[in-house]
């Protein structure tokens, strides 16, 4: 017992963070700091209760992609959760630009977030908490790596049920990820690379940070309920409208997913990413399909389009 007590740090000792962090810049409490120095209180309800909302946008070749849509969705989440921040949309955009510019990253993963914060008395009444806004920019990362993007992801369907929309509005981006994380471990146990979860009716919902879309007989479908209406998912619909491809948000059964001609997933972290195996079985011929390739190529081309992207204001 004495040895255990003597091993404890003294009151005046300094905590040294043992973790490594990606290079980047964060904004909080009115300051821009290295990501490694961006900290929140252990009493923040964002940490204790997952009481927070956020949104992510990416920068590619020095340009934000559809930044306006991401900021609009973020403010929608704030309103639904009855949170407020001392910045309007233009100020938030300026902060995000500054985070990227100060980091120097030409391709970046950029996040804006607001936690419920904490109250001086540790009150359980959320109205007593002071909401806290933060943002950061780190190097761009993808759900799928280069090899997986070329040959297609291998996905497993988990029996985990996604949190139903009656409990958590999926239109509010949130950090309630325990069902998704358990689904990921189910996938790893089955030699897959990522997971898809089901809704309460046993139909396909979404995966950890991404929507799923299927192609059958030239028609595109994606789950309609119980999922985040992703910005990349919306971008696919916009591209399909331009190309004259029929696309609909509807019910997608597990059988329909397995019997699709093509399957792909969409996320700000990676864009349009092909899926070629479900639960170990190939989708169609097990190769990345032509519609997936066409949409993926067009998606990345649009990153240079001023109507869809905006340049970072680097020093």
pLDDT digits (tens, 9 = 90+) for 235-263: 999 999 999 999 999 999 999 999 999 99
pLDDT at 149 exceeding the cut of 60: yes
**Whether residue 279 has pLDDT greater than 60:** yes
Whole domain around residue 114: which residue ranges?
19-139
Does residue 26 lie in a domain region? yes
Where is the domain boundary, 104, 139, 174? 139
Answer yes or no: do 184 and 285 share one domain. Answer: yes
User: What angle (nearest 5°) sits at the alpha carbon of residue 59, between those of residues 102 and 240?
Assistant: 165
pLDDT above 50: residue 5 = no
159 and 39 housed in the same domain: no
pLDDT at 7 over 70: no
Domain containing residue 267: CATH number:
3.20.10.10
User: Is there a single domain that holds both residue 257 and residue 293?
Assistant: yes
Torsion of CA 131, 314, 267, 230, to 10 degrees: 50
Q: Is residue 310 part of a domain?
A: no
N residues, the chain: 315
Looking at the structure, do residues 292 and 212 belong to the same domain, yes or no? yes
- Residue-wise pLDDT for 33-76, tens only, equals 999 999 999 999 999 999 999 999 999 999 999 999 999 999 99
Same domain for 116 and 160? no
For residue 2, being part of any structural domain is answered with no
Tell whether 12 is covered by a domain.
Answer: no
The whole-chain average pLDDT of the chain stands at 94
Dihedral, 267, 270, 39, 132 alpha carbons, nearest 10: -30
Determine the Cα–Cα distance for residues 146 and 313; give it in Å rounded to an integer.
29
Question: In this structure, is residue 6 part of a structural domain?
Answer: no
User: What number is the average pLDDT over the span 160-176?
Assistant: 93
Whether the per-residue pLDDT at 17 is higher than 70: the answer is yes
In the chain, pLDDT over 90 holds for what percent of residues? 92
Alpha-helical (H) ranges within the chain are 2-6, 45-48, 67-80, 89-103, 146-151, 178-189, 231-243, 254-258, 290-301
Q: Say if residue 224 is in the same domain as residue 135.
A: no
* Residue where a domain stops, chosen among 89, 117, 139: 139
Are 123 and 152 part of one and the same domain? no
SS3 24: coil
Quote the percentage of the chain above a pLDDT of 70.
95
311 within domain boundaries? no
Question: Is 245 in the same domain as 178?
Answer: yes
Q: What is the CA radius of gyration of the chain?
A: 21
Return the CATH number at 54: 3.30.470.10
Phi and psi torsions of 52, nearest 5°: -160, 165
β strands within the chain, DSSP E: 25-28, 31-34, 52-60, 63-65, 108-118, 130-139, 153-161, 194-198, 211-216, 219-223, 247-250, 262-267, 271-278, 281-282, 309-311
Of 230, 233, 111, 228, nearest to 176 (Cα)? Answer: 228
pLDDT band at 12 (very low <50, low <70, confident <90, very high): low
| Residues 113 and 163 placed together within one structural domain of the fold | no
How many distinct structural domains can be found in the chain? 2
Whether residue 150 is found in the same domain as residue 135: no
Within a domain: residue 261?
yes
Same domain assignment for residues 110 and 259: no
- Residue at which a domain ends, from 123, 139, 155: 139
Asked whether residue 155 is assigned to any structural domain, the reply reads yes
Whether residue 154 is found in the same domain as residue 293: yes
What gap in Å lies between CA 90 and CA 86, rounded to an integer?
12
């Amino acid at each position: 017992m004495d040895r255990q007590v003597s091993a404890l740090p003294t009151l005046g000792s300094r905590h040294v963070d043992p973790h490594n962090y990606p290079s980047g810049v964060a904004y909080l409490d009115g300051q821009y700091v290295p990501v490694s120095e961006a900290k929140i209180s252990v009493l923040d309800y964002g940490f204790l209760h997952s009481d927070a909302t956020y949104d992510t946008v990416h920068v590619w070749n020095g340009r934000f992609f559809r930044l306006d849509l991401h900021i609009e969705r973020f403010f929608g989440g704030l309103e639904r959760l009855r949170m407020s921040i001392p910045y309007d949309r233009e100020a938030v955009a300026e902060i995000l630009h500054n985070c990227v510019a100060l980091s120097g990253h030409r391709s970046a993963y950029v996040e804006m977030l607001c936690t419920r914060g904490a109250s001086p008395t540790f009150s359980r009444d959320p109205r007593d908490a002071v909401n806290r806004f933060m943002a950061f920019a780190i190097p761009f990362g993808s759900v799928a790596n280069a090899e997986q993007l070329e040959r297609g992801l291998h996905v497993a369907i988990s029996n985990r049920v996604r949190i139903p929309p009656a409990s958590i509005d999926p239109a509010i981006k949130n950090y309630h990820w325990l069902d998704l994380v358990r689904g990921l471990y189910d996938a790893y146990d089955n030699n897959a690379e990522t997971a898809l979860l089901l809704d309460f009716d046993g139909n396909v919902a979404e995966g950890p940070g991404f929507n799923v879309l299927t192609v059958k007989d030239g028609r595109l479908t994606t789950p309609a309920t119980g999922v985040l209406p992703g910005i990349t998912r919306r971008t696919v619909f916009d591209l399909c409208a331009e190309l004259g491809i029929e696309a609909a948000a509807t019910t997608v059964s597990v059988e329909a997913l397995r019997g699709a001609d093509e399957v792909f997933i969409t996320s700000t972290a990676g864009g349009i990413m092909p899926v070629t195996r479900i639960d170990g079985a190939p989708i169609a011929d097990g190769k990345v399909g032509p519609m997936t390739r066409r949409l993926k190529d067009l998606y990345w081309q649009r990153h240079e389009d001023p109507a869809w992207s905006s340049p970072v204001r680097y020093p």
